[in-house]
Structure 1
Amino acid sequence: MTDRHELILTCPKGLEGLLLEEAINLGLEEAREQTAAIRGQGSLEVAYRLCLWSRLANRVLLVLDRFTTTNAETLYDGVYRIDWAEHLEPGGTLAVEFSGHGSGIDNTHFGALKVKDAIVDRLRTPAGERPSVDKLNPDLRVHLRLDRGQAVLSLDMSGHSLHQRGYRLQQGAAPLKENLAAAVLIRAGWPRIAAEGGALTDPMCGVGTFLVEGAMMAADIAPNLRRERWGFSAWLGHVPALWNRLHDEARARAEAGMARQPLWIRGYEADPRLIQPAKNNIERAGLSSWIRVYQGDVATFEPRPDQNQKGLVICNPPYGERLGDEASLVYLYQNLGERLRQACLGWEAAVLTSAPDLGKRMGIRSHKQYAFWNGALPCKLLLIKVELDQFVTGQRSAAAVEKAGKPDRQPEAELARLSEGGQMFANRLQKNLRQLGKWARREGIQCYRLYDADMPEYALAIDLYGDWVHVQEYAPPRSVDPQKAQERLFDALGAIPQALGISRDRVVVKRRERQSGTRQYERQASQGEFLEVSEGGVKLLVNLTDYLDTGLFLDHRPLRLRIQREAAGKRFLNLFCYTATATVHAAKGGARSTTSVDLSKTYLDWARRNLALNGLSDRQRLEQGDVMAWLEEDRGEYDLIFIDPPTFSNSKRMEGVFDIQRDHVALLDLAMARLAAGGTLYFSNNFRKFVLDPGLAERYAVEEISSATLDEDFRRNSKIHRAWKLQAR
């Protein structure tokens, strides 16, 4: 068997250039790039060295043959002609990995079966002994790649993928593969920084992958030094003496590296559940004397051991997949940028992100960007020099400036900068706050709408709930570039805490799209955190995180207060009651009795809590059911009725679909049949195209009261709802 082989090294997409440079330094000759791989020539010693020392490759493949194939038979023949007795005992085990398609082979399982059959048939003894299949730990792992009629047949020297170093038995929710972490460190210049004695810190270290990979580079430890089983361990072409010499050399280099003064390598992680797994991984890697991990969030991490120490800050921030993550991610990047500016002057930083626009929120320019793939997710590596001339200048909002002069100011507010668009948005919020804040304080209103797409390019609804901010992003029309819409959202989110002087962790973000059925009432998250607010002398529970709506429709505040004023001594009926906030107001106003009907058990339970919070559980009836069916069966009589139905509604509990435009006449006729003499029915809905049937005015006294049911915070959006007062003639 020749001592010069064609070698193929596979790698994650985007790492080809780095792997090419690494492989050449390890002895690969005539090397060139392919997609997610490189190929070249080298001896068996080079193949061994690549297995042991490559920090970037997934696999090292030793090519046995290349041949043309036109169908399954020629594929079989090409594999069969190899002298497999040089590679595997007849009683050994093998596994076959097949990739690609063509030449009549469109199923990888079928292709692998033909390769396996050829090997087994070639090695079958007269006594019938033949290799068996072992997919987990075979003696020989064979790989065949088929591409446009060309077959490349190889032995996998690696065994399990080389990114599996063996130290990381515990990982977080979004793990970064070890070879990708190594590639990011190399791109970030860590080998140079380490050679100069620099420090390394990861303020969002998770289970410590960047830290371990960085320490192994700094201590000259071969990434796969601790691996015990290889793809060549039972290969008949294996030369143990050659391998043992290379392995002993690597062990000696690691011992020498570990004997040196450790570099300052530190990790910080906000999630306490990840601290012990990180420490366990570091201990398994044998690097406990080099790496320390602490619990702490981005805003408080301290990367600098002393004034003269410099180094690299590296991190892979979370990507965000849940409702409201936009706000937390914007503020995470802002906190990171502020901490870099405050404590890391003169350092270098590297941020691997799937949302490069968020990188702009750090307030520091990146001098280089590199494309990477984290699995199927495209990412950008932002390289930053933390120097004064790289800081993005901009104005701080007036509220932030004022707040900075107060003893209880937030440290992060001092250095936060707003983009031009963010400053413009902040100015509008402050203007609204000055105007509406005076009105709200005068009227004793704690919860109100501060902003409702006042500036069309910032399509948000922003509501204040005490010292909490609830932000709803209206889905942009298709004519708007999604990236531009995302940038504007980030601008707005960056501006909100500063403009309003509110803590970033009290901003909740949701996206509001056109909803159908009961979608707007479905649970979006499960934090289960309720906030107590007050309105018109009653206490109400809102939930800002778990549902698209909060449990309190702010635009109906005037109607609820009207009901409170008119409810004394009356029998009150609330249909489609939601969380029964109007019922609480009626009971507070002295209603003789209340009845509230809704299809949702969840919201009726919420209604029950609202009533109990005000000590109003007596004489308050809560009924679960389809409103139309309930009205047909109910024989009660009511003096005051409130109906605020959804535009559409469907449920497993009801037959058909409720459509407010189609069904409102039947609904109102049923409800008016239950209205006592001299009674009043209030009807409201928020369907913008709604038209009240003119025939209703022939049977009842109908008065539209929409303008009288809008407070100052909703007057700029007069179409938020329409409302009518109905009475018997």
Structure 2
Amino acid sequence: MSDRFELFLTCPKGLESLLAEEAAGLGLEEVREHTAAIRGFASMETAYRLCLWSRLANRVLLVLKRFTMANAEELYQNVLSVDWQEHLQSDGSLAVEFSGNGSGIDNTHFGALKVKDAIVDKLRRDSGERPSIDKINPDLRVHLRLDRGEAILSLDLSGHSLHQRGYRLQQGAAPLKENLAAAILIRAGWPRIAAAGGALADPMCGVGTFLVEAAMIAADIAPNLKRERWGFSSWLGHVPALWKKLHAEAEARAAAGLAKPPLWIRGYEADPRLIQPGRNNIERAGLTDWIKIYQGELATFSPRPDQNQTGLVISNPPYGERLGDEASLLYLYQNLGERLRQACLNWEAAVFTGAPELGKRMGIRSHKQYAFWNGALPCKLLLIKVQPEQFVTGERRTPEQREREREQVELGREPVVTEQARLSEGGQMFANRLQKNLKSLGKWARREGVECYRLYDADMPEYALAIDLYRDWVHVQEYAPPRSIDPEKAQARLLDALAAIPQALGVDTSKVIVKRRERQTGSKQYERQSTQGHFMEVSEGGVQLLVNLTDYLDTGLFLDHRPLRLRIQREAAGKRFLNLYCYTATATVHAAKGGARSTTSVDLSKTYLDWARRNLALNGFSDKQRLEQGDVMNWLAADRGEYDLIFIDPPTFSNSKRMEGVFDVQRDHVQLLDLAMARLAKGGVLYFSNNFRKFQLDEGLAARYAVEEISPTTLDPDFARNPKIHRAWRFSL
């Protein structure tokens, strides 16, 4: 074989230039970049060195042949022409990987099959024996890459992907691959910082991938030094003596590196379940003297190396993929920025994020940004110098303020940047509105003994949110923006608002819950959004009610119906009360509190009837309170009871699997009301309400019943700004 080979090195997308620089330093010549790969030429010694020392590559492929092809037969013949006896024993094992398509190759499985057939046929023709197929640990792994009619046939010298160093047998929910972590460290300048004796801290370290990769760089440890099986281990072209020489040199370098005084490398992780797996990974990497992991919350993060040493803070905060993540993530990024400013002055920082907009909310400027990919997710690496002049505020600082900050730094003090100063202009405007609303509505709520009320309801159209207070908790619902609104602008405004809420209302960020409200179909309104199962008791009109702010789109308490519930309580004494579409039966609790002779509550959902049962029991009511599971229309048609007080608050639309057909309030309300009025006792009253904005009550109902619209009297001051929140009528015979 030749002494000079063409090599292809694959890598994660975005790492090409870094890999090209690294590979050139390891001896690769004539380096050229491709998408998620580089190519060049090298000796076998350099090929081995790349396998052993590349921190960034996924695979090192040795090119056997390049050829053009027009169809599958030409593919077969070209592969057949290779002297496979030089590479694999006839009774050895083989795996084939194929990428690309075209030239008559419909899919990668078909392409791999043609390559495998050619290799097997060649070896069997010459020896009478054929190799077996082993996709896990073959003696030879063959790659064929097809790109626009050109095929590149290669041997995989690496075997399993080089990012699999072998130390990380335990990992968290969303780990970075080791070679991506190494690339981030290199881009962040860690080799330079480590060479100068700097420290490294990760405030959200997970199972310690950044820490281990950083320590291996600092201690000059080859990333794949401990790998026992390689793609070339059973390759007939392998030169064991050359490999042993290079491996021994790497072992000597590692021993010398580990003999040096260890750098200060520390990780902190809030989740106690990840502490021991992280420590196990560090132990497997042989770096327990270099790295320590502690349990600790981001809010208390404060690296304290010896002798006022500085270095690099590196972090990969969560990106957020679930409904309602915006608030918790915003506050996490704000917290991270706060800790950098307050505890890491004069350090460098690197924040790797899949949510760059959140990165802007840390209150500190990045001086460089690099684009990366974490799998299929585009990400940014934000490089930050933690200096006062990089701190971002929502107001322009005067030269005098800057001078005072510099004086604080020179005196060894931490410059103070208040949360309020960091609000954007829009965020400050939103905070002002919240404070204005709180001042006026808070007085009313205290006077009336109201614990839960709507503070804000899209008062400013560009901030399309509904904000409700539940004692000291804040429940935020984001109305889905129309398609005409730029999603990035909508997201920026949401983040502005979320930044303003804790400051304006004086609440802890952990007590802000965010959900997105959009037009729901069927039972989506009642579907579980989370599984935290956290219920809290709130008081209303002398009763206690259970609300859940996290698990469902609605909380279990429709705040706009407060006046109707209190009216029912006042009128319920001695009455037989019927609550249709009862939800969590809050109106039923009020009726029982008001002295109802009996109550009957009907709903299709077992979940909400269980919730209703708990609401009733919480207030000491259970003996005479009837809870019925069923479709309301069918239940009414079959019921023969008589009721003095009826409350109906139907959904706008429902197509639950448990009901027959589809319920549409505009189309079906006449039938619903006729069925319910048939159950109303003489002298009784029925209250009908719904929140369909375009709803029109059928005029024919007034000919059969006494009908009075009472909508204005059913709105408290917190909903006076939004009179269309619902409409309500009083029916009697």
> TM class by shorter-chain length?
over 0.9
1:412: how far off?
10
Q: Which residue of 1 aligns with 2:520?
A: 515
**Take 1:616 and 1:112, find their aligned partners in 2: how far apart are those partners?**
71
TM-score, with structure 1 as normaliser: 0.97
Q: How does 1:426-445 map to 2 (within 5 A)?
A: 426-445=431-450
Q: Is 2:498 aligned against 1:496?
A: no
Q: How does 1:272-671 map to 2 (within 5 A)?
A: 272-306=272-306, 308-394=308-394, 417-671=422-676
Paired residue secondary structure (1:393): coil
Paired residue secondary structure (1:299): helix
Q: 1:460 to 1:126 in 2, by over 3 A?
A: closer
Q: 1:156 to 1:708 in 2, by over 3 A?
A: same
1:340: how far off?
0.4
Task: For residues 289-323 of structure 1, give each alpha carbon's deviation from its aligned partner in whole angstroms, at most 9, with x where no partner exists.
Answer: 10000111111112132462101011111122222
Q: Give the letter for the 1:204 counterpart.
A: M
Task: For residues 242-283 of structure 1, give each alpha carbon's deviation from its aligned partner in whole angstroms, at most 9, with x where no partner exists.
Answer: 111110000000000000010000001111111111001000
1:128: how far off?
2.3
1:125: how far off?
5.5
Q: How does 1:73-84 map to 2 (within 5 A)?
A: 73-84=73-84
Q: How does 1:196-215 map to 2 (within 5 A)?
A: 196-215=196-215
**Take 1:650 and 1:450, find their aligned partners in 2: how far apart are those partners?**
32
* Contact 2:480-2:517 within 8 A present in 1 as well: yes
Q: 1:20 to 1:123 in 2, by over 3 A?
A: same
Q: 1:416 to 1:288 in 2, by over 3 A?
A: farther
Q: 1:478 to 1:126 in 2, by over 3 A?
A: closer
> Of residues 675, 678, 681 in structure 2, which corresponds to 1:673?
678
**Take 2:34 and 2:522, find their aligned partners in 1: how far apart are those partners?**
51
Q: How does 1:57-68 map to 2 (within 5 A)?
A: 57-68=57-68
* Contact 1:564-1:588 within 8 A present in 2 as well: yes
**Take 2:96 and 2:323, find their aligned partners in 1: how far apart are those partners?**
43
**Take 1:557 and 1:89, find their aligned partners in 2: how far apart are those partners?**
82
Paired residue secondary structure (1:370): strand
Query: Higher mean Cα deviation, 609-618 or 411-420?
Result: 411-420
Matched-pair identity in %: 83
Q: Which residue of 2 aligns with 1:180?
A: 180
**Take 2:127 and 2:310, find their aligned partners in 1: how far apart are those partners?**
69
Q: Give the letter for the 1:528 counterpart.
A: G
**Take 2:678 and 2:420, find their aligned partners in 1: how far apart are those partners?**
64
Q: Which residue of 2 aligns with 1:710?
A: 715
1:635: how far off?
1.0
Paired residue secondary structure (1:719): helix
Paired residue secondary structure (2:422): coil
1:77: how far off?
1.2
Q: Give the letter for the 1:535 counterpart.
A: E
Paired residue secondary structure (1:101): coil
Task: For residues 88-113 of structure 1, give each alpha carbon's deviation from its aligned partner in whole angstroms, at most 9, with x where no partner exists.
Answer: 11111111111111111112111111
**Take 2:623 and 2:153, find their aligned partners in 1: how far apart are those partners?**
81
Q: Give the letter for the 1:577 counterpart.
A: C
Q: Give the letter for the 1:567 counterpart.
A: A
**Take 1:126 and 1:171, find their aligned partners in 2: how far apart are those partners?**
47
> Of residues 691, 694, 701 in structure 2, which corresponds to 1:696?
701
**Take 2:96 and 2:528, find their aligned partners in 1: how far apart are those partners?**
47
1:625: how far off?
0.8
Task: For residues 601-629 of structure 1, give each alpha carbon's deviation from its aligned partner in whole angstroms, at most 9, with x where no partner exists.
Answer: 11011000000000011211111111111
1:126: how far off?
6.1
* Contact 1:101-1:146 within 8 A present in 2 as well: yes
Paired residue secondary structure (1:480): coil
* Contact 1:395-1:423 within 8 A present in 2 as well: no
TM-score, with structure 2 as normaliser: 0.96
* Contact 1:90-1:125 within 8 A present in 2 as well: no
* Contact 2:315-2:352 within 8 A present in 1 as well: yes
**Which contiguous aligned blocks of 4+ residues in structure 1 show a shift greater than 4 angstroms?**
411-416
Count of paired positions: 714
Paired residue secondary structure (2:681): strand
1:416: how far off?
7.0
* Contact 2:90-2:129 within 8 A present in 1 as well: yes
Task: For residues 361-385 of structure 1, give each alpha carbon's deviation from its aligned partner in whole angstroms, at most 9, with x where no partner exists.
Answer: 1000011110000000000011110
**Take 1:349 and 1:221, find their aligned partners in 2: how far apart are those partners?**
24
Q: Give the letter for the 2:690 counterpart.
A: N
1:694: how far off?
0.5
Paired residue secondary structure (1:124): helix
Query: Higher mean Cα deviation, 658-667 or 316-325?
Result: 316-325
Q: Is 2:111 aligned against 1:111?
A: yes
Q: Which residue of 2 aligns with 1:86?
A: 86
Q: Which residue of 1 aligns with 2:9?
A: 9
Q: 1:554 to 1:705 in 2, by over 3 A?
A: same
**Take 1:681 and 1:634, find their aligned partners in 2: how far apart are those partners?**
17
Q: Which residue of 1 aligns with 2:22?
A: 22
* Contact 2:5-2:41 within 8 A present in 1 as well: yes
Paired residue secondary structure (1:204): coil
